[in-house]
Amino acid sequence: MQDVLFELISDQPGRLVAVARQQHLQISATNLEELQHEAREALISHFGPSHVAFRVRLRRPVRCAPVAAPLKRC
């Protein structure tokens, strides 16, 4: 089984947008559950019956917390 990685590129309240760069797919939804469903639907449309060979993965961008010491970085 292969993974298709969707990266969250916009995380605004009520609108999430993610892209799978290798497959040139872009999806949007209002919440994470719907985004997962949209990702699966995009794979079905893109790959057809062979979509079952792919697993959807969603990745959020890494956000840095405020740092106490000036030498620490994300």
Q: What is the CATH number of the domain that holds 42?
A: 3.30.160
- Residue 34 in domain: yes
Question: What is the tally of structural domains in the chain?
Answer: 1
Q: Of 31, 33, 30, whose CA–CA distance to 56 is shortest? A: 33
| For residue 6, pLDDT beyond 90 | yes
**The pLDDT value given to residue 13:** 84
Would the pLDDT of 71 be above 60?
A: no
Q: Do the domain assignments include residue 52?
A: yes
Using CA atoms, how far apart are residues 56 and 43, in angstroms rounded to an integer? 8
Measured CA distances, 62 to 1, 27, 32, 51, 59 (Å): 26, 20, 17, 28, 9
Residue 19 scores a pLDDT above 70: yes
Residue 51 inside a domain? The answer is yes
**pTM of the predicted protein model:** 0.75
Exposed/middle/buried for residue 39 (C-beta within 10 Å: 0-12, 13-18, 19+): buried
What is the distance between the alpha carbons of residues 49 and 52, in angstroms, rounded to a whole number?
7
Residue 25: inside a domain: yes
Range of the domain at 41: 2-59
